[in-house]
Amino acid sequence: MKQLFPLDSKVIAENEDAARKAYERGDYIACLLIIHALIEALLRTFLDGNEKKRFSDLVGEYKRFLEKERQTEPVFVDELIQFNRRRNRTIHNLWEKGYVEINRKLEPVCRTAFIMYGLFIEWLQTFNDNIAEAGFNYDK
């Protein structure tokens, strides 16, 4: 495995805390965007992706990694694709439907995103146990 992309674990912890606080105050749009950024950072870290790549490119690279590891199921690939589409729809629909309506509909999405984020961290640790050392350890 390549060396982990250097990230500041304090920044990761701060963003995890900011996502939790956004959820608690009902700011689900902010929560969704922060979790999306955390998952992107997690993918970049795991894949040593310090190049400028889109989220979808990172998911493709992750899928190829799973294939090289002879994983018969593309674990989390579909979830990551759907999560990215949800984020894109959220951003594009803000001007059309407004903040209040979009925000209200995102509570269950954010709740699920926290679960997916934690499970994805645990899954990636089966390939590289340094993920937690990089600061990814969301378990709230």
Question: How many domains does the chain fold into?
Answer: 1
Which residues form the domain of 114?
9-125
For the chain, give the percent of residues with pLDDT over 90. Answer: 69
Number of CB atoms found within 10 A of residue 94's CB: 14
Q: Is residue 24 part of a domain?
A: yes
* 140 in any annotated domain: no
Q: In this predicted model, what pLDDT tens digit does every residue of 44-72 receive, in sequence order?
A: 989 886 677 899 999 999 999 999 999 88
**Residue at 82 is within a domain:** yes
Q: Is residue 3 part of a domain?
A: no
Asked whether residue 77 is assigned to any structural domain, the reply reads yes
Q: Is there a domain that residue 58 lies in?
A: yes
The verdict on residue 88 lying in a domain is yes
- pTM to 2 decimal places: 0.89
